[in-house]
């Protein structure tokens, strides 16, 4: 199901003040929300915990897809140190999606969930810090203000369409995506990004 159909997380990404004028501001705001949601899942139980986890899962799924379509290519295309930075981020995203995928559908009040969730939190927190420290400064260096704004719009467009469940493997361009609704959503997301960036 697409984010728009869930009614989340678009309210947040569409009403973020000037964040929509700069892709790095927008993504960092989402990183903050991710950190809040990790804390919310840890500090609640029952339905509240389930709700927070579902919000987190959807946000992580669309956020990583948007980064993979809009941000990483911009850095990678510049070559040099950026290529290695993007390679590391893609690997981290793949690994985190595997864990998120395992958690998706588990009982949030089960001890196994709690243990695996702690692993996910560490992976995602480290990944977000690495993006903020190594990749986002390059994004700002490579792109002027107009391009940063265009990229913010592309991220927002992608997040309206992208799948809200994790699909490990989608991040590698050569991955064999089975034909079906998910492949269709990914194609539509890519089209929306292309049109926002043109």
Residues that bind Fe ion (CB under 5 A): 64, 67, 131
Q: Give the Cα separation of 105 and 115 in Å (integer).
A: 15
How many other C-beta atoms can be found within 10 angstroms of the C-beta atom of residue 146? 9
DSSP 131-186: IIIIIHHHHHHHS-HHHHHHHHHHHHHHHHHSBSS--TTTTSTT--PPSSHHHHHH
At residue 169, φ and ψ (nearest 5 deg) are 110, -25
- Residue closer to Fe ion by CB (options 32, 110) is 32
- Residue closer to Fe ion by CB (options 50, 104) is 104
Angle, in degrees to the nearest 10, between helices 111-130 and 81-103: 160
CB 171 within 8 A of CB 90: yes
- Residue closer to Fe ion by CB (options 128, 185) is 128
CB of 63 to Fe ion, least distance (A): 6
CB of 14 to Fe ion, least distance (A): 18
- Residue closer to Fe ion by CB (options 54, 64) is 64
CB of 111 to Fe ion, least distance (A): 28
Q: Give the Cα separation of 192 and 160 in Å (integer).
A: 9
CB of 89 to Fe ion, least distance (A): 6
Cis amide bond preceding 9, omega within 30: yes
CB of 105 to Fe ion, least distance (A): 22
Which residue number is nearest to Fe ion in terms of Cβ? 67
- Residue closer to Fe ion by CB (options 108, 171) is 171
């Amino acid at each position: 199901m697409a984010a728009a159909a869930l009614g989340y997380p678009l309210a947040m990404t569409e009403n973020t003040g000037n964040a929509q004028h700069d892709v790095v501001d927008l993504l960092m705001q989402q990183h903050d929300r991710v950190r809040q949601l990790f804390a919310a899942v840890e500090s609640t139980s029952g339905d509240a915990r389930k709700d927070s986890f579902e919000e987190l899962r959807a946000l992580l799924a669309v956020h990583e897809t948007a980064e993979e379509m809009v941000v990483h290519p911009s850095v990678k295309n510049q070559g040099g140190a950026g290529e290695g930075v993007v390679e590391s981020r893609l690997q981290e995203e793949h690994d985190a999606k595997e864990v998120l995928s395992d958690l998706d559908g588990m009982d949030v009040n089960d001890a196994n969930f709690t243990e695996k969730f702690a692993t996910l939190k560490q992976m995602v927190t480290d990944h977000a810090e690495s993006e903020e420290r190594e990749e986002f400064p390059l994004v700002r260096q490579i792109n002027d203000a107009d391009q940063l704004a265009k990229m913010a719009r592309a991220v927002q467009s992608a997040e309206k369409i992208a799948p809200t469940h994790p699909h490990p493997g989608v991040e590698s361009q050569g991955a064999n995506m089975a034909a079906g609704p998910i492949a269709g959503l990914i194609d539509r997301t890519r089209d929306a990004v292309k049109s926002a960036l043109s």
